[in-house]
Amino acid sequence: MAEISTIARPYAVAAFKLGKETKSLAKWSEMLKFASAVSTDEKMLAFILNPKVLANELQDAFLNVCGKNLNEQSQNLIKVLVEYGRMSLLPAISSAFEELKAQDEGVLDAQIIAAAKISATQTKDLVKRLEAKFGKKVEATVSVDPEIIGGIKIIVGDTVIDASVKGQLQSLAYTLAA
């Protein structure tokens, strides 16, 4: 079965292209975040996942709850998602849209995972190197994961730079098994 992000991406790309054409990326961002929040509400999620609820009932209820927070085009997106039973993809669509918007604005999100806490100076140095490598502004979030044993792991979009001891051990194990 395809991954959720793979299924959600074409919807996000379509919304992004439409937002770009109409110069309304910020509005689309707001609408998708709002619709995503509504879809993840406990009661709404139960309603969405209930197989006894008819598509037109779900569509009407969802659009009623969203009210004037959605424009005509975003309402059409909701109608398509309901029609194909993909309402649960809204959070992934919103996330993919935000990634496309950030790339368009020249900003990349980087996740830096370290085995131990790294200093602000080290973080700034890493961010500068990443900006030089990718040629774009980088916004980094740093987390600590002692399970990587040592070193760091950096994730920027689809690029993974694994300089962790755990990653090197896994690579060695794969090489020896082949």
CATH of the domain at 41: 1.10.520.20
Residues 10 and 83 in one domain: yes
Residues 92 and 125 in one domain: no
Taking only the tens place, the pLDDT of each residue in 14-36 is 999 999 999 999 999 999 999 99
Q: Is 10 within 8 Å of 94 (Cβ atoms)? A: no
CATH of the domain at 167: 3.40.30
Instruction: Supply the DSSP symbol for 168.
Output: H
3 state DSSP class of 24: coil
Residues 118 and 38 in one domain: no
Residues 12 and 92 in one domain: yes
Residues 94 and 10 in one domain: yes
Query: Would you put residue 106 in left (φ > 0), alpha (ψ -120 to 50) or beta?
Result: left
Helices 42-49 and 55-66: crossing angle in degrees, nearest 10, is 160
Residues 140 and 128 in one domain: yes
Residues 10 and 85 in one domain: yes
Taking only the tens place, the pLDDT of each residue in 33-85 is 999 999 999 999 999 999 999 999 999 999 999 999 999 999 999 999 999 99
Taking only the tens place, the pLDDT of each residue in 76-123 is 999 999 999 999 999 999 999 998 998 888 888 899 999 999 999 999
Residues 110 and 26 in one domain: no
Whole-model pTM: value is: 0.67
Residues 111 and 55 in one domain: no
Residue 15 identity (one-letter amino acid)? A
Where in the sequence is the domain holding 58, given as residue range(s)?
Answer: 4-102
How many angstroms separate the CA atoms of 112 and 120, rounded?
12
The number of distinct structural domains making up the chain is 2
Residues 86 and 151 in one domain: no
Residues 125 and 52 in one domain: no
